[in-house]
Structure 1
Amino acid sequence: MNKKSLAVGIDIGGTNTKFGIVTPDGKILEEGRIPTTNYPHITDYVDALYGHISPIIEKYKDQAPIRGIGIGAPNGNHFTGSIEHAPNLLWKGIVPLAKMVNEKFNLPCVLNNDAKSAALGEHKFGAAKGLKDFIMITLGTGVGSGIFVNGKLLYGNKGDAGELGHTVVRYNGRLHWSTGLKGTLEAYCSATGMVLTALELRKKYKGKSLLKKYKRKDLTAKAIYDCAMKGDKLARDVFKFTGTVLGEALANFVMFSSPEAIILFGGVTAAGDLIMKPTKKVLEKHLLTEFKDAVRLEFSQLAQNDAAILGASTLV
């Protein structure tokens, strides 16, 4: 992106799509959102994007040229420009979204995986600025990751490297709700996984707990956090267990790539020390001596709603 140009960043989530006009120094001039789930047909979705974003482009194009459109999406493949078999989106199979958006807007369009896009944003504007080797872990409805090695984002031979959320951390463990895999990191350390942990622990827990007042359909990661902040032991046990699993997994990741830092991002990180302390403790416990106290573990410096938009904007 040149010093005077602007870019459009689009973050596609399973529930909502967020977008914004971004300056080269990471300022979002204007942003908006549409419900992803309102458009079961991809052509209708692209039409909706155009209807909402084109007026914003018109508004700012006289201030500076619009360089292009960057998109972060679940299962987005940077090499092909397509969303490929995303389990949490309504559009199944392979969706050539970059090509469709390019033709609709008549602007260059580049697509990437959503977690990789967030890592790009963190690298340019956030806690990973200036780092050559780091891992970003997104802890939200799912668990994603972006891995930087020697200053470059890791793509692998097909563009899909870095699916750390689907690595197996518990042999023959919990069944993942959409992939069918057992014992993966996402099944335990996502917001969805935390709810499953709370339900499992609640069945065995003999004492009193605020979590027992929630019906299954009403139990969320936010509810677990609220109870934990009120001192509820069972809710705090959920965070302790989640941090244990996460810390063990991060130790493996550290020893395969020796990063300078691991950056945690996403809704689960709103719990602060409730998730950070057990994760850090278990991470250090499972590292070889040469890796101990050598890796920074910290939260993202970017606002949750902004990171993926910023990262997507760096693609063009």
Structure 2
Amino acid sequence: MYIGVDIGGTNVTAGLVSIDGEILFQNSCPTLPSRGWDMVIQDIINLIREIINQASNNKNVLGIGIGVPGVADPNTGNVVHCVNLGWENVPLGKTLEKEFNKPVYIDNDASVAALAEFENGALKGTQNSILITLGTGIGGGFIINGRLYSGTSNIGSEIGHTVIGENFYDCNCGKNGCFETFSSATALIRYTKKLMEEARENTVIGNYIDNDLDKLNAKVIFDCAKAGDKLALSSVNRLVDYLIIGITNLINLLDPEIIAIGGGISKAGDYLLELISHRIHEKILFKDMPYSKIAIAKHGNDAGIIGSAMLCKHS
């Protein structure tokens, strides 16, 4: 068995995971990163202790894997840079190894989510495949030649910051035109608000949320688009148009077997897949050749725990 720890900006979740990627037990606590990294790590230690207590024998736990929302160095176990947590060069891996006397493995959260899908999800059985996570931002995880790929300096697969166009606002990274400013949940909400402000009249989606923009989220926008609201459909179509650009760039670059879509946007499921499938053929370079299958990721919110635990298996 392994322990997987998924560190998010809001919650830390840890779970006991079988060698086949099945979650046997899990627990969570608020992250509260403003307290400082040492307090957060103490909470992680407490969570792991609870998880170990659920195992029949401490010796059955073979390792601890951790997914972080930022840049991690698997060689040192340090969290190198994490904007959401305010962490810089935090010795997370070594701290946990000292505490539990077990090997600790660490990587980016989108990369470990890809590993979860590779182990027993949408990417299972592939040699070359990609996971795209569409949430607050856009993340990516690459499986190349049957192994998780993070690049020479462990900062690869940052597909959310590939530039695919010119946008009406800059990305948090400082550039203009990043993929995640077009096709993330944040981008969808921001563009829909822009259209609503420009309309200067009551809209169907505005009436749906009682003109309270605080109630606007990706699910609301997709629900209204499915119901035929023109403004919501315009926003969703824009997201999909740029998503297809991002996907075809990946197909042209790496020719993967499968590209799976995870994150909050993926909850649109078959509706999203249908919008993609109807238009992607127009953008494919070699139209007479087979191209990547597009699928919805399987594990949802559990991907972080499962993938982190699978770092122990695949490292």
Residue 264 of structure 1 is matched in structure 2 by: 261
- Asked if residue 309 in structure 1 is aligned to residue 296 in structure 2, the reply is no
Residue 195 of structure 2 is matched in structure 1 by: 201
Q: Give the match's secondary structure for 2:29.
A: strand
CA distance, structure 2, for counterparts of residue 63 and residue 14 of structure 1: 29
CA gap 1:291/1:44 in 2 versus in 1, 3 angstroms: farther
Residue 93 of structure 1 is matched in structure 2 by: 88
CA distance, structure 2, for counterparts of residue 14 and residue 291 of structure 1: 44
Residue 51 of structure 2 is matched in structure 1 by: 56
Q: CA deviation at 1:150?
A: 1.7
Letter of the 1:26 partner, please give it.
G
CA distance, structure 2, for counterparts of residue 75 and residue 175 of structure 1: 20
Q: Give the match's secondary structure for 2:82.
A: coil
Q: Report if the CA contact (8 A) 1:173-1:184 is conserved.
A: no
CA RMSD between the two structures: 2.0
CA distance, structure 2, for counterparts of residue 87 and residue 284 of structure 1: 37
Of 276, 282, 299, the match for 1:285:
282
Q: Report if the CA contact (8 A) 2:12-2:44 is conserved.
A: no
Q: CA deviation at 1:86?
A: 1.6
Deviation larger for 224-233 or 50-59? 224-233
CA gap 1:207/1:39 in 2 versus in 1, 3 angstroms: closer
CA gap 1:52/1:39 in 2 versus in 1, 3 angstroms: farther
1:75-114 → structure 2 map (5 Å cutoff): 75-77=70-72, 78-89=74-85, 91-114=86-109
- Asked if residue 127 in structure 1 is aligned to residue 153 in structure 2, the reply is no
Of 182, 187, 191, the match for 2:185:
191
Letter of the 1:276 partner, please give it.
L
Cα deviation digits, residues 157-194 of structure 1 (max 9, x gap): 11111100110111365311x21221111112111111
Residue 3 of structure 1 is matched in structure 2 by: none
Q: CA deviation at 1:291?
A: 6.8
Q: Report if the CA contact (8 A) 2:257-2:292 is conserved.
A: yes
Letter of the 2:306 partner, please give it.
L
Cα deviation digits, residues 215-267 of structure 1 (max 9, x gap): 33332212223333433221122111101110011111100111111010111
Q: CA deviation at 1:155?
A: 1.9
Q: Give the match's secondary structure for 2:87.
A: coil
Give the number of equivalent residue pairs. Answer: 308
Q: Give the match's secondary structure for 1:243.
A: helix
CA distance, structure 2, for counterparts of residue 233 and residue 173 of structure 1: 21
Q: Give the match's secondary structure for 2:160.
A: helix
1:199-238 → structure 2 map (5 Å cutoff): 199-205=193-199, 208-211=203-206, 213-238=210-235
CA distance, structure 2, for counterparts of residue 226 and residue 70 of structure 1: 36
Q: Report if the CA contact (8 A) 1:211-1:234 is conserved.
A: no
Cα deviation digits, residues 37-93 of structure 1 (max 9, x gap): 25531111111112222022023142861111100111232343222222222x332
Cα deviation digits, residues 123-142 of structure 1 (max 9, x gap): 11111111001111011111
**Normalised by the size of structure 1, how large is the TM-score?**
0.91
Q: Report if the CA contact (8 A) 1:79-1:158 is conserved.
A: no
CA distance, structure 2, for counterparts of residue 38 and residue 162 of structure 1: 25
The percent of aligned pairs where both chains have the same amino acid is: 33
Of 27, 35, 49, the match for 2:22:
27
Letter of the 1:183 partner, please give it.
G
Residue 139 of structure 2 is matched in structure 1 by: 144
**Normalised by the size of structure 2, how large is the TM-score?**
0.91
CA gap 1:239/1:148 in 2 versus in 1, 3 angstroms: same
Of 148, 171, 174, the match for 2:169:
174
CA gap 1:101/1:278 in 2 versus in 1, 3 angstroms: same
